Chains A and B, each alone.
Chain A
Amino acid sequence: AQSVAQPEDQVNVAEGNPLTVKCTYSVSGNPYLFWYVQYPNRGLQFLLKYITGDNLVKGSYGFEAEFNKSQTSFHLKKPSALVSDSALYFCAGPLSGGYNKLIFGAGTRLAVHP
């Protein structure tokens, strides 16, 4: 079955430290992968995407993600966390055979402490 998994419900990190939010995938064909962020009481916002090419993808707000085909992972990273990065993060990927259906992970809550 195709899936996108986020193994951690919550990630805690101190401000200024690097952060990683994990995502693994199981989709057939070429994996197109995405990260979205949800701030409190807001809708989801697109952060970045991997389509093809460089395995390190840069996105909004200083975030980047590393695509690793051998480990079937697409982890979200940031070198220095900010308190304002505290939010709910979703990894997503399409079901094969249809560009229109996105599978979302369950979400990971990132808490950055001062």
Chain B
Amino acid sequence: EAQVTQNPRYLITVTGKKLTVTCSQNMNHEYMSWYRQDPGLGLRQIYYSMNVEVTDKGDVPEGYKVSRKEKRNFPLILESPSPNQTSLYFCASSLRGGRVSSYEQYFGPGTRLTVT
């Protein structure tokens, strides 16, 4: 089954404790992206990747890191989480970046992160 998977689905952590949220897709997609969803704000893009070893900032990159060492994986790293990073996070992928077709994105199920 074609899908985007994320782990963990739920995470409660404390301020300053480094964490990684994994994202993997099995569709051989070139483009991958991370979003955060907050009430009343819709989805905001954190980082995106056009292909392996090619990443760029989205609208809200502060406090986050990403890497794209393999085509299928795009982990999101919070080096020192803070309470304002409490949110619902989504990973998404699409076939190609840089083209209109890239907007048909496939989303993972989401990771609900709480930072206390």
Contacts and interface: CB of A to CB of B under 8 A. Distances in A.
Please determine whether chains A and B interact with each other in the same assembly.
yes
Interface of A: 9, 32, 34, 36, 41-46, 49, 51, 90, 92, 94, 99-102, 104-107
B107 A49 contact: no
B104 A90 contact: no
Given A104-B44, A106-B42, A92 B103 contact: yes
Contacts of B43: 44, 90, 92, 102, 104
Nearest to A52: B100
Given A43-B4, A90-B42, 18 more contacts: A32-B103, A34-B104, A36-B107, A41-B110, A43-B90, A43-B109, A44-B90, A46-B105, A49-B103, A90-B43, A99-B97, A99-B98, A100-B31, A100-B98, A101-B45, A101-B48, A102-B103, A106-B41
B98 A41 contact: no
A9 B42 CA distance: 11
A36 B107 CA distance: 10
Contacts of A43: 4, 90, 92, 107-110
A102 B42 CA distance: 11
A99 B35 CA distance: 16
Given A42-B109, A106-B41, A107-B42, A99 B102 contact: yes
Contacts of A92: 43, 103
Contact of A99 (B40, B45, B90, B103): B103
B11 to A, nearest CB: 15
Interface string B15-29: 000000000000000
